[in-house]
Chains A and B, each alone.
Chain A
Amino acid sequence: MIPFLRRLASWSLAAWLALAPAMALAQEESGGMPQFQFSNELTTSQVVWMVLIFLVLYLLLARWALPQVSSVLEERARRIAADLDAAKAAKAEADAAVAELTAATRNARAEAQAEIAAASRSAREAAAGQTAALNERLEAELREAETRIDAARAAAMGALREVANETARAMIERLTGHTPAPETLAAALDHALSTAKG
C-alpha cells in the first residue's frame, strides 16, 4: 500500500510539475489563478465571512459541543475507575475468603491426622500388650512341657538302665556262666549309655 502510494505521489508530483507551466501559460489569457486575483473583492470578502464563521464555530464548539464530549468522557472514566475499584475490592475479598478456606482445611486436616495417629498408637499398644501376655503364657507352657519331657526322659533312661543291666547280666551269665561284678557292669553300662546317648 505505502510503496504504491509513494509511487503514485511522486508520479502525480511529476505530472503536476510538467503541467503547471503549461497551465500557467494557458491561464495568462483568462487572468491567472482565481486565488491570486486579489483585486476581486470576493477574495477578501470570503475571508471576512470565514473569520465570522470560524468564530461562531469556535464559540459553539467551545461552549456547547466540547463540554458535552468531555463530560461524557469524564463520566465514563469515573464509572470505569469505580468499576475497577469495585473489581479490585471484590478480588481482594475473594482472595481473603480463599485464604481462610485454605487455612481451615489445613487445620482440619492436621486435627484429623493427629486423631488418626493417636488411635493407631493406642491400638498398637493394646496389640503389643496382648502379644506379650500370649508370649508369656506360651513360654510358661513351653517350660512346663520341657520339664515334663525331661522327667519323662530321665524316667525312661532309668528304666532303660535297669533293663540293660538285667539284660547284660543275664547275657553274661548265660555266656560265661558266672555272675559279673555289679560295679564293672555298671561302669560298662555307663560308658555304653553315654556314648549311645551322645
Chain B
Amino acid sequence: MAEPPAGPDPSFEERLRAARVKSGLEAAPPKNAGGLGWAERPLAMGFRVAGELVAAMLVAVAIGWSLDHWLGTTPWLLALFVVLGAAAGVLNVWRLFKPRHENGLRSGQGSGERKDH
C-alpha cells in the first residue's frame, strides 16, 4: 500500500477524470481492431475490386440469360445486361474508393466499405 504523499496531486485528479470519461460514455474510437491496417493492403483491395466486378457481371449475365430464354430474345438482353453489369461493377468499385463523407458512413455503400479490407 504505497500511498503517494498527501497534498495536491494533479496526477490523481487527471487519472480520476480519465477513468470517469472512460466509463462514462464510451466514445468508441473509430479505429476498431486493426481493420484499417489491413484496408491498405493492395492485394486485399485488388481482391475486392475483382470480386465486385465479377459479382456484378455474374448477376447481370444470369439475369440477361434467363430473360433471353424466357422471352426468346437471345442474345440481345444478354448483351444489354453485360453492358449494365459492367457499369454496375464499375459503380461498385467507384464506391469502394470514394472518399469518406461526414461521419464516414454516408450512403452506407462506398465510404463505409472502405472500413473493411
Contact = CB atoms under 8 A, between A and B. Distances in A.
Contacts of A13: 43
Interface of A: 2, 5-6, 9-10, 13, 77, 80-81, 84, 87-88, 91, 98
Interface residues of B, number: 14
A81 B41 contact: no
B23 interface: yes
Contacts of A84: 16, 19-20, 23
B102 interface: no
14 contacts: A2-B41, A6-B41, A9-B43, A10-B43, A13-B43, A77-B23, A80-B19, A80-B23, A81-B24, A84-B19, A84-B23, A91-B13, A91-B16, A98-B7
Contacts of B13: 91
Main secondary structure of the interface of A (DSSP, over half): helix
A13 B41 CA distance: 13
B108 interface: no
A5 B37 CA distance: 12
Contacts of B7: 98
A10 B43 CA distance: 6
Contacts of A9: 41, 43-44
Nearest to B16: A87
B16 A88 contact: yes
